A and B are shown apart, each in its own frame.
Chain A
Amino acid sequence: GQSLEQPSEVTAVEGAIVQINCTYQTSGFYGLSWYQQHDGGAPTFLSYNGLDGLEETGRFSSFLSRSDSYGYLLLQELQMKDSASYFCAVSGSYTGRRALTFGSGTRLQVQP
């Protein structure tokens, strides 16, 4: 099957850098995605890694190591509006389908 592990909560101060780790188990790995969800809202796409290495999009970066089944999301210059839940999601060929399996989410609280 597929499973993901990420920390349940992270706290950081405004302006700081925070890293959210994600380890996964899957068969037929295709890629690792990151989504942000504010309370009561819908998830929004942040980043996707299909190959090893770092992807950068503004203040957000995401890293993938397929050999270690590991990835992380890096948030720089934290702002209060970054307080949200962050989900890693893996797409793989489990049971022959290419659909996302989500982790349980990391709740990030940014403090002033």
Chain B
Amino acid sequence: DGGITQSPKYLFRKEGQNVTLSCEQNLNHDAMYWYRQDPGQGLRLIYYSQIVNDFQKGDIAEGYSVSREKKESFPLTVTSAQKNPTAFYLCASQDRTDQPQHFGDGTRLSIL
């Protein structure tokens, strides 16, 4: 079955540590997105990529980095510069801009 896989489901970060969240899709979608969701809030765009080897900052990119070396993969690194990383992180992919975005099951990141 086609879909989006995010791992791990739960992640704990120590102070000063960088952590990487994985996002893989086998839908053959060109566009991929990373969102952050805080409790009781909507989704905020961190980074997005429309094609391989290209990505753009979203509204809250500070303290995060991404890469898009393969069409299927769009990993997100939460760096030590992100002082408040505790949140629910969602990855999405999209076939065309007039098509719905498909979401993975998310990764919950907490600080130890």
A-B residue pair count with CB separations less than 8 angstroms? 49
Q: When A43-B90, A91-B97, A104-B42 are in contact, do A97 and B48 touch as well, CB less than 8 Å?
A: yes
Which of B61-69, B73-81, B98-106 has 4 or more CB atoms under 8 Å from chain A?
B98-106
* Chain A residue with Cβ nearest B88: A40
Size bin of chain B's contact surface? 20 to 34
Interface bits A91-109 vs B (CB < 8 Å: 1, else 0): 1000001111111110000
Q: When A41-B105, A43-B103, A99-B48 are in contact, do A105 and B42 touch as well, CB less than 8 Å?
A: yes
- Max chain A C-beta neighbours (<10 A), residue from B33, B58, B97, B104: B97
Size bin of chain A's contact surface? 20 to 34
State whether A100 touches B41 (Cβ < 8 A): no
Which of A12-20, A44-52, A62-70 has 4 or more CB atoms under 8 Å from chain B?
A44-52
State whether B90 touches A45 (Cβ < 8 A): no
**Contacts from A to B (Cβ < 8 Å):** 30-31, 33, 41-45, 48, 50, 87, 89, 91, 97-105
